[in-house]
Structure 1
Amino acid sequence: MTNTVKGNFSDAVWDIKQIKDKLNVTTPEGNFLWSLHVELSPFLIAKFQLSKKRYVYIAADSIIMGKVEDLGCMDLGSYAIGAVEDYSKRLNDYISMDYLSAIQRAGAAQSWVSKEPYNKDACLLDFDVLLIEPRKLEKNLVVPIMWWNSVINLAKGKDQIRLAVTLAFNDKYMKLPSNWKRTDDNADIINFDGCKNVCSEDGLQHEQSGYGSTWQRYLNQKSGAILNA
């Protein structure tokens, strides 16, 4: 991850250190957010941007092919977030429906546990593009994500937090058009595959080598000449 997280349609550009300074990491919620600040960065922004009507979060390692303003103009209705679904990752691929039913019975008193059976074919949420209206988010948003994260146990941590967020937002989000899912060159967003700066545990930036040249297709001739100089 780069050392900033950005929310379009607002003036927010947060440095990772600034975020940590604002979080009360002595509380369970603050420590949880900070421990997963890479994965939960869209919601970290929301926590400190309650004065903003909305913003578009886009993963830093992206090339935008479409019009971000199209996202900004979408009507979320009563929903707090709009998200793209990852059709390659289904609920039943990660958790037994029998186990999920048992969790429902045990957590029936929790407001964030659905009273209806979960759809085994429901897709996991994709975090690459999110449209968020902070003032509509529940004040205790972190609590249901923490709760779900604690009752499921997957080998891959990134998939676990995505599953926890998906279950926490079950039927509480608007589906964004699938063209905002990073798939191929025909999508409105594609993966940046060149060199990038990433943050390490010491808080410093280190250059990470790229593994492709797709990004170079979208440079004009002048930019290419500068890079090749």
Structure 2
Amino acid sequence: MSTPSEVSGRVWIVVCDDHVVVRAGVLALLGSAPGIEVVGEAGTGEEAVTLAAGLVPDVVLMDLQLGAGIDGVETTRRITSAAVPPGGPHVLVLTTYDTDADITRAVEAGATGYLLKAVRPDELFDAIHAAAQGRTALSPPVASRVMARMRSPRPSLTPRELDILGQLAHGLGNRDIARALFISEATVKTHLGRIYSKLGVETRAGAVATAKEQRLIP
């Protein structure tokens, strides 16, 4: 089965961004891009999933934060897991968020590329064409973060440690956390020690701040 780009000679793209003004700017920019045709736009993740299934674009340009409803990561996961034809549509993230957690979640969800909104127009166009062919496209700052993470990976937190971090963020003490999670205070203290070590912090406040910065908790 031929892809839309093979038939028309142009890359078909759907743009998903919940900010109307931003989306309009991206659409206007892409309107002047050689070999690229915008075939749909979405303001929510749910709309993007529906358009991807109905229009079968080569690329979905995806923001990560989409307001109410599913976020860009979950939208990416749904689009890539139901990709038709095999290998497409490809999702290219275009966002302002560049934390390790955001990048990792997007890639694990199936994103082909990850760009920051400060990217130059020609870099965006090149990335779209690369994504349409299934090739990875990363903004230089994102590529640097990925390489740094690969050179010095940080241990991931376990589901239980994430539960405890969530309780910390709500201001609960060790006793209340133990009661909420049906574990002993000694177990809570053990988990906290491991959390501090993994996040490179020494205090409860430091753990919460770092976890929020890395988007490990809301």
**TM-score in terms of structure 2 length:** 0.29
Q: TM-score, length-normalised on structure 1?
A: 0.28
Greater relative contact order (Cα 8 A, min sep 6): structure 1 or 2? Answer: 1
Task: Work out which of the two has the higher radius of gyration on C-alpha atoms and give 1 or 2.
Answer: 2
Bigger fraction of residues in helix: 2
Which structure is higher in strand share?
1
